[in-house]
Chains A and B, each alone.
Chain A
Amino acid sequence: MRFSGTPPSLSDYGEVLKPDEAMQPILAKPVRDALTEWLTEIWASEELAAVGLQPRRKAIFHGPPGTGKTTLAHHLAARLGLPLAALRPDRVISSYVGESNQNIGRVFDAAIAEGPVVLLFDEFEVYGQKRIAVRQSADQHHNGVVDTMLQRFDAHDGYVIAASNLSEELDPALWRRFDIRVSIDLPGPSERRRIVQRYIAPYGLPKDALRVMGEALEGASPALMRQLCEGIKRQIVLGDRLGLDMSKAAVVDRVIAAIQPQKGTALPRLWSHKSKDRAAEAMPWPLPRADEIGREAEPGAVDRGALVVSIDRGRG
């Protein structure tokens, strides 16, 4: 056993993030509406109790990697004024038979002992993959993990959020335990523009350049866009010092060559055309500071076609 004597704490199994460290998520409107509804519901616990209802406490966020599921969970916990325990599967799941079950039990026990906290099970498919017919002892071990999860889920009345990239792999019984299921897909055009704006700051792009950049990044995850923006900023700061060619085309090509989208995800247009892309051509160079660009309102018409958001709810 890893712990002798002292009871295990949540920080043994992941990071405990404080509310004041949270960032604002950038999300599509339907997802935000669903989350606002959830917050309102939690805050109306007393009124709900008067009619024999309880606020929903268990949510799963599923969607492609890098779409900000953890950021979102952190933001929600911060709005509630609670810390977020972001559990790491490598610390909870053990190779020793039976220890994973014990660890899951300890996580839930610690969550009760350490006072109100939002539990985030990242990469939930690790705990909750479909149970299978037992052929070898490892299968039995896995099925045991799912059974323990089911039991502890039912017994726990705190907030639990699960995040998964592979929701179709999850055990149906476990899937049903989530009262709120939010699909977080790749960002749409307006979210892409806001993400670029956030990560390119303190630099900025004029309205038109931002729009074409948003188009050229279709299919990119927030994490990839962040890498792109931070790569460009890093080049601006370090390029001269390293004696690199600081022309716009050279910088864009270098940054894009160094950042590759995850395998199996779409390749955004910017990665195909690189510095020849319209978005790169429309980008002013050297990049102006955001406060030097006249703040104009964004165009009103927004295409949300690329956004697929579904919100399921209900038990069983």
Chain B
Amino acid sequence: MPADGRDGVASVSKRELLELVERVERIRERKTELNDDEKVVMAEARASGFEPKFIKAVVKLRTLDPAEREKSEAMLDMYKAAVGLDTDAPLFRSVGGMGVDITARGQVIEALKLLAPETGEIILKFGGTPVRIWRDAEGEAQSEDWVEPEPEPAAAPKKPAKKKPAKKADPEPVLPNVDEDGAAKLGRQAFRDGEAIITNPFPHDDRRRPLWDSGWRAESGSDGMGDDDGDD
């Protein structure tokens, strides 16, 4: 039964082929569906005021690994600078953004590390906290935040001004460093010092604020809404 046999062979490969074709078709179908889904997301983004063009660009950037991305950005910057599309060379632009952009700051420091001298140091006094760049005993370039050393006693009047930038890092510089009992005591003290009840130093969501307030009230024997004379 050659015909049957051929037919059998043919029918097996036919079935296989048909299966493959159908699988490809199903995948294509899913792709179309997924593309449609993506379009819906983009439309949503557009409705919320985002630009799909840039979303696509960001998605693409995220597929790259960080080293690759940095490399392609650096190349693009260089090419742009070369053909005159960019007014600033990349490093200069980073220097300009140092004060506001941590990444730019990091880039500038990394670049300057290459220039760090074997002996001596580079101190950068712009773009935020001053930075000191030097080479350690192994010749490895290092960087650290740099605080101006205390001037000689003769230059005393300048002291407070110098100290301030170093303190900037403190997130709550004016908050008294006390626990809850301490806050109540501060409130009592504030009343004795003749301070108003609204001078409470703690922010509204600080647990110590009510305690300061109650301390003030306990010490004054009032509710903080005016004197009680003649009332009770």
Q: Which residues of A contact B (CB under 8 A)?
A: 19-20, 22, 24-27, 29, 32-33, 35-36, 39-40, 43, 75, 78-82, 116, 190, 193-194, 297-300, 302
- The smallest C-beta distance from A30 to any residue of chain B, in angstroms, reads 11
Contact (A302, B231) CB under 8 Å given A22-B198, A24-B196, A36-B223: yes
Contacts of B227 in A (CB 8 A): 194
Pair A194/B229 contact, Cβ less than 8 Å = yes
How far is it, in angstroms, between the C-alpha of A78 and the C-alpha of B225 when the chains are bound?
12
Complex Cα distance, B120 from A40, in Å, reads 61
Q: B230–A190 contact, CB under 8 A?
A: yes
Given A22-B198, A81-B203, A81-B209 in contact, is the A75-B225 Cβ separation under 8 Å?
A: yes
Partner of A20, one of B198, B202, B206, B209: B198
**B203 to A298, Cβ gap below 8 A?**
no
B binding-site residues for A, Cβ under 8 Å: 196-200, 202-206, 209-210, 213, 223-227, 229-232
- A80, chain B: closest CB distance, angstroms: 5
Whether the Cβ atoms of A43 and B209 lie closer than 8 Å is yes
Chain A facing B: main interface SS: helix
Q: Give the complex CA separation of A178 and B120 in angstroms.
A: 70
Q: Which of A25, A297, A298 has the most CB of B within 10 A?
A: A298
Complex contact B213–A79 (CB within 8 A): yes
A sample of 22 cross-chain residue pairs with beta-carbon separation below 8 angstroms, ordered by A number, consists of A19-B198, A24-B224, A25-B225, A26-B225, A26-B226, A27-B225, A29-B232, A35-B225, A40-B210, A43-B209, A43-B210, A75-B198, A79-B200, A79-B224, A81-B203, A81-B206, A82-B204, A190-B231, A193-B230, A298-B229, A298-B230, A302-B230
List the B side residues contacting A298 at CB < 8 Å.
229-230
Closest to A35 in B: B225
